[in-house]
Amino acid sequence: MTPVIEFAGVSKWYGPVLGLRDVSLRLAPGITGLLGPNGAGKSTLLKCMTGEVRPSRGEVRLFGRVVPYDDVFRRVGYAPEIETFFEELTAREFVTHLAVLAGYDGAEAARRAEAVLIRVGLAQALDRPLATYSKGMRQRTKLAQAMVHDPELILLDEPMTGLDPLARAQIVTLIQSLGAEGRTVLVSSHILDEVETMTREIVVLYQGQLLAQGNLHAIRDLIDRHPHHIVLTASDPRALGAALARLECVTAVRFDGADRLEVETRAPDACYAAIPRVATETGVKVRSLTSPDDNLSAVFRYLTTGARGAA
């Protein structure tokens, strides 16, 4: 099956500045988070897909065809990170205009524009000039114009920037619904929590290079250079800790307060399997078991720290 997005050895230089370095990746339908710190090359990666910038080397394919070609934009919706529009227009006029450019006749474009603006929560402000819009309303308008022509692939560059928590939750729900409809959604962000709430599929860029790609857990499992931490609250942490310390998979045990202990391991799966057995054998009651590492922040920290160390 042809991947929706395919990068083959793509590099991009802006004069002496390196934007992307030999990036090769393939993405299938669903929501994917594009992660990386500021300046990692996220926007350049998206711009390469929309033809805004041309790769200095390599090629980008969307739906199996090398971009840029005009017709691909029938199937692609793009919300750039810029905050400006044709400020003199209303949201309805702006989105209708872009729908007309996507090939719909005036009446159909107007109908679609209204529907999509209502879907993103701008029903009350359809006919207000865009110049009067707040940051949150601008983000919604960008989403609306990206969705108005019902594209299969939606590229969202920092769609949650400047939004309040309530608006963020609404946009996350909206993006999740787009993914659930079977579309391919690529969301760039440097805020890990918001990506984590949307998807477990990630692409991590760092200093223009592809650092990791795939499922969050699978990536975590691949990071065997870094020890994994498991935090337990138990009725007798010292007894449990002493028993766990005898396991081959456990590299260290630390006690934190009266009822907490932290276990360090390089074989998380084996350790997770052993903990219930040891608890039963020692008769210690385990009240909670969490891992501070089993989230995107930790994975990202490990990956980027590793890359920096390697550099």
Q: Is 85 in the site for another protein (CB under 8 A)?
A: yes
Determine, following the binding rule CB under 8 A, whether residue 103 of this chain makes contact with another protein.
yes
Rounded to the nearest whole angstrom, what is the least distance from the CB of residue 41 to another protein in the complex?
A: 12
CB of 141 to another protein, least distance (A): 11
User: Cβ closer to another protein: 97 or 266?
Assistant: 97
Q: And the tokens for 290?
A: 């969490």
Q: State yes or no: residue 84 binds another protein (CB under 8 A).
A: yes
CA dist 183 and 174 (Å) reads 12
Total chain residues near another protein (CB under 8 A):
31
CB 188 within 8 A of CB 43: yes
Q: Which of 32, 139, 145, 199 binds another protein (CB under 8 A)?
A: 145
The reply to whether 139 sits near another protein by the rule CB under 8 A is no
**Least spacing, CB of residue 311 vs another protein, in Å:** 26
Tokens of 228: 């994994």
Q: Distance between CA 130 and CA 91 in Å, rounded?
A: 6
Residues 6+ apart with CB under 8 A from 203: 25, 27, 32, 33, 34, 35, 186, 210, 212, 213
Q: Does 101 bind another protein (CB under 8 A)?
A: yes
Count Cβ atoms within 10 A of the Cβ of residue 51 and give its class: 0-12 exposed, 13-18 middle, 19 or more buried. middle
DSSP 82: -
Residue closest to 116 by CA, chosen among 87, 96, 97, 136? 96
Q: Does 76 bind another protein (CB under 8 A)?
A: yes
**Cα–Cα distance between 163 and 168 in angstroms, integer?**
6
Beta-bridge partners for 189 = 35
Residue (104 or 302) nearer to another protein, CB: 104
- The contacts of residue 188 (CB under 8 Å, 6+ apart) are 33, 34, 35, 36, 42, 43, 45, 46, 156, 157, 158
Nearest CB to another protein, comparing residues 73 and 302: 73
Residue 20 found at the interface with another protein (CB under 8 A): no
């339908």: which residue's tokens?
29
Q: Which of 3, 39, 51, 306 binds another protein (CB under 8 A)?
A: 51
Residue 86 or 255 with smaller CB distance to another protein: 86
Q: Which of 1, 17, 38, 71 contacts another protein by CB under 8 A?
A: 71
Q: Does 44 engage in binding with another protein (CB under 8 A)?
A: yes
Would you count residue 188 as binding another protein (CB under 8 A)? no
Does 262 contact another protein by CB under 8 A? Answer: no
* 289: amino acid identity, one letter: L
DSSP E strand stretches across the chain? 5-14, 17-27, 30-35, 57-62, 65-66, 76-79, 153-157, 184-189, 201-206, 209-215, 228-234, 250-255, 260-265, 286-290
The only residue of 7, 73, 300, 302 in contact with another protein, by rule CB under 8 A:
73
Nearer to another protein (CB atom), residue 70 or residue 127: 70
**Least distance between another protein and beta carbon 302 (Å):** 31
Q: Closer to another protein by CB, 15 or 309: give it.
A: 15
> According to CB under 8 A, which one of 32, 43, 199, 209 is a site residue for another protein?
43
The stretch among 84-92, 185-193, 261-269, 294-302 that binds another protein (CB under 8 A) is 84-92
Chain residues binding another protein by CB under 8 A are: 43-44, 47, 50-54, 70-74, 76, 78, 80, 82, 84-86, 88-89, 93, 97-98, 100-103, 129, 145
